[in-house]
């Protein structure tokens, strides 16, 4: 593995503006050993009820002999209410040196294979999550048997590839699914949390439709917000979350 990636797995903090590169480099390292993805996994549903590719008759796989999502996802973010051990997370920080603010926390990856630090065992063998009861929200909402679950299992060789015919049919259904979602122009595409001159934090978002908006300003001594909480929400959902 690239020496720089080994060093990254030992880091405690990552600058927010370097995060994209870090995740990209780890993604490349993990996926160069896996099968070529047949589908655009980013757009595949992670909930069974939203499946567009997996037939209903397909049995739900057993997580305890899998672990493909824990091995294949590079970015497992935590939210402020998650009870994940902080010492096992990267702090993603923004702001000047000495006055840095945590804007996200991601579970660190282990050095041997870049799987999640909390995965016990190797993908495809007997596995368990060492913090199962306290696993972050992202892991709780990811469902076994979902389209994305099966796609990861295929990439790790735990399920056979789709036939060429099934792959093209699945791509077509996924394309229609993405086009239908594309109408949601008020969904948040990117988020930045940065300090202003008075030491308050500004949450600024850009929607899929291209609208830029300041959605919240908060005192970091009194409130904690991470970028991941806003990503993928509509502006209305974000406002409701802030008020709650």
The total of other beta-carbon atoms located within 10 Å of residue 241's CB is 14
Q: Which of 8, 26, 66, 74 binds ligand SF4 (CB under 6 A)?
A: 66
Q: Which of 39, 53, 68, 201 binds ligand SF4 (CB under 6 A)?
A: 68
**Is residue 69 at the binding interface for ligand SF4, with CB under 6 A as the rule?**
yes
- Residue among 37 and 220 whose Cβ is closer to ligand SF4: 37
Considering only residues 95 to 124 of the shown chain, the ones binding ligand SF4 according to CB under 6 A are 107, 116, 118-119
Considering only residues 123 to 152 of the shown chain, the ones binding ligand SF4 according to CB under 6 A are 129, 131, 135, 139, 142, 144, 149, 152
- Residue among 100 and 231 whose Cβ is closer to ligand SF4: 231
Number of residues that bind ligand SF4 (CB under 6 A): 21
Please state the closest distance from residue 34 (CB atom) to ligand SF4, in A. Answer: 13
Q: Which of 63, 74, 94, 228 binds ligand SF4 (CB under 6 A)?
A: 63
- Residue among 69 and 203 whose Cβ is closer to ligand SF4: 69
Q: Which region, judged by CB under 6 A, interacts with ligand SF4, from 60-68, 173-181, 214-222, 232-240?
A: 60-68
**76 phi-psi bin (left φ>0, alpha ψ -120 to 50, beta other):** beta
Q: One symbol per residue from 150 to 189: x for binding ligand SF4 (CB under 6 A), - otherwise; what is it?
A: --xx------------------------------------
Single out the residue of 189, 224, 180, 168 nearest to residue 50, CA to CA.
Answer: 180
Under the rule (CB under 6 A), what is the footprint of ligand SF4? 61, 63, 66-70, 76, 107, 116, 118-119, 129, 131, 135, 139, 142, 144, 149, 152-153
């Amino acid at each position: 593995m690239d020496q720089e990636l080994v060093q990254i797995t030992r880091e405690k903090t990552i600058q927010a503006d370097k995060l994209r590169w870090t995740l990209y480099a780890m993604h490349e390292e993990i996926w160069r050993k896996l099968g070529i993805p047949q589908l655009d996994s980013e757009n595949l549903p992670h909930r069974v009820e939203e499946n567009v590719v997996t037939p209903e008759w397909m049995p739900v796989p057993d997580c305890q002999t899998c672990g493909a999502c824990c091995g294949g996802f590079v970015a497992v973010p935590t939210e402020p209410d998650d009870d994940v051990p902080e010492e096992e997370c990267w702090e993603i920080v923004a702001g000047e040196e000495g006055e840095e603010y945590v804007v996200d926390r991601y579970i660190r990856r282990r050095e041997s294979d870049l799987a999640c630090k909390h995965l016990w065992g190797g993908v495809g063998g007997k596995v368990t999550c060492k913090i199962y009861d306290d696993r972050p929200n992202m892991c709780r909402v990811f469902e076994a048997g979902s389209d994305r679950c099966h796609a990861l299992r295929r990439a790790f060789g735990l399920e056979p590839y789709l036939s060429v015919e099934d792959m093209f049919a699945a791509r077509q259904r996924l394309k229609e699914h993405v086009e239908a979602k594309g109408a949601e122009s008020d969904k948040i595409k990117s988020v930045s949390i940065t300090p202003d001159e008075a030491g308050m934090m500004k949450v600024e978002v850009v929607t899929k439709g291209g609208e830029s908006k300041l959605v919240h300003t908060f005192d970091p001594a009194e409130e904690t917000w991470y970028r991941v909480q806003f990503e993928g929400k509509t502006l209305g959902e974000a406002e409701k979350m802030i008020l709650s």
